[in-house]
Amino acid sequence: METFDFCFETVLDVADKHKKATDDEDGISHLARVTYEAEKAHIKKILKSTKGSKTHAAALLGISRKTLWKKIKTYNIETV
């Protein structure tokens, strides 16, 4: 049991150091940043392919128009 506690503490310490090392200056983890940028780029690409049709874009993305509008606002995507 003591070995487990020691190992568990070591794992937590390493995880905490890794988290600090991978956070951006604004506190967003690298994975979150990559996910954010990938989703934003994909939405922009779909909107361009649908010539700005949010109804069609939402259908292609498999989300509601309301969700698409929220994502457009969140990602500050300019629409035509």
Let me know if residue 29 belongs to a domain.
Answer: yes
Q: What is the model's pTM?
A: 0.65
Let me know if residue 16 belongs to a domain.
Answer: yes
Q: What percent of the chain has pLDDT over 70?
A: 65
Q: Which domain holds residue 65?
A: 2-74
39: domain CATH number? 1.10.10.60
Let me know if residue 80 belongs to a domain.
Answer: no
Let me know if residue 79 belongs to a domain.
Answer: no
| Count of domains observed in the chain | 1
3-state SS record for 1-27: CHHHHHHHHHHHHHHHHHHHHHECCCC
Give 62-67's long-range contacts (Cβ < 8 A, gap of 24+): none
In tens, the pLDDT along 11-49 reads 445 455 555 555 566 666 888 889 999 999 999 999 999
